[in-house]
Amino acid sequence: MSIRVTNVQRMCFDDGPGIRTTVFLKGCSLHCPWCSNPENIRYEKQEYHSLSHKKGIYGRDYEPEELLEELLIDRKYWGTDGGVTFSGGEALLQAEGLEPVWKRLKKEGIHIAGETALFVPEKQVEIAEKYIDYFYVDVKLLDNKMCKDILGGDTAQYLKNVKKLAEDKADIHFRVPCSEEYVLDVENVRKLLAFFRNYSFYPIELFGIHDLGKAKYETLGQEMPEFHPVSMEMLEDFKVMLIQNGCKADVITI
């Protein structure tokens, strides 16, 4: 089974411990309005026009061996702490196709991280947790109606998957993309606090959503939706609230 990838990015320092190579997989089960990787939302290949009017295609199908070969070029820089991160889009949506790649990396003793929103069927979580050493799990909108309307996801499925990962003792690191309008909305904050109280054992990284994806929207002939950048003060306030609720939270820059 081939794997649909938009980019293999080498020398990443933000996607897990150490020095890593990150694979951006095409296709997502959500469509977050603040998404900074719009080229990874749809699974279908998409034509783009770069700012210098160069045409290209987002999305390339790799056979597992081919992807492995490209990944392993930078193996010597990973050491024991670094490795490969699978991001997206939704990394777990292609779990079946990725399984041979993960299996091989695992066999070679390479550290594997996955960035997921967990809005995927349980079966895919089961495959992933056999191999992934380090999960970044997004926490976004927890009200089912809001989540469905704005992101297109079912919170019941999400919560079930989080529970499963936690029960199976996966190494979870929560990531919360914060914006005034959405995630830090008063109602959602209340739900987030309740959620995190159940998972206070795991570290939480808060970050403000940014408009760095703007140029990518333009290459697709789209406009990036407008939103208010969240202030550092708001992020810090939320962090303090989380800490006061017994959680381990930190503000990061991406």
What is the contact surface with other proteins in residues (CB under 8 A)? 9-11, 13, 18-19, 51-52, 54, 73-74, 76-79, 253
- Residue closer to other proteins by CB (options 1, 11) is 11
Least CB distance from residue 8 to other proteins, whole Å?
Answer: 9
Question: Which is it for the CA torsion 215, 183, 13, 66, positive or negative?
Answer: negative
Least CB distance from residue 55 to other proteins, whole Å?
Answer: 11
- Residue closer to other proteins by CB (options 18, 100) is 18
- Residue closer to other proteins by CB (options 9, 144) is 9
- Residue closer to other proteins by CB (options 71, 151) is 71
**Dihedral through CA 149, CA 151, CA 152, CA 158, nearest 10?**
-120
* C-beta separation of 164 from 125 below 8 A: yes
In angstroms, the CA 7 to CA 40 distance is 10
Least CB distance from residue 12 to other proteins, whole Å?
Answer: 8
- Residue closer to other proteins by CB (options 12, 92) is 12
- Residue closer to other proteins by CB (options 108, 187) is 108
Alpha helices in the chain (DSSP H): 64-72, 75-78, 95-107, 122-131, 144-146, 155-167, 186-198, 214-219, 232-244
* C-beta separation of 173 from 230 below 8 A: no
In angstroms, the Cα distances linking 30 to 138, 183, 242 are 12, 15, 26
Least CB distance from residue 214 to other proteins, whole Å?
Answer: 13
In angstroms, the CA 164 to CA 199 distance is 12
Least CB distance from residue 53 to other proteins, whole Å?
Answer: 9
66's tokens:
């081919």
Least CB distance from residue 77 to other proteins, whole Å?
Answer: 4
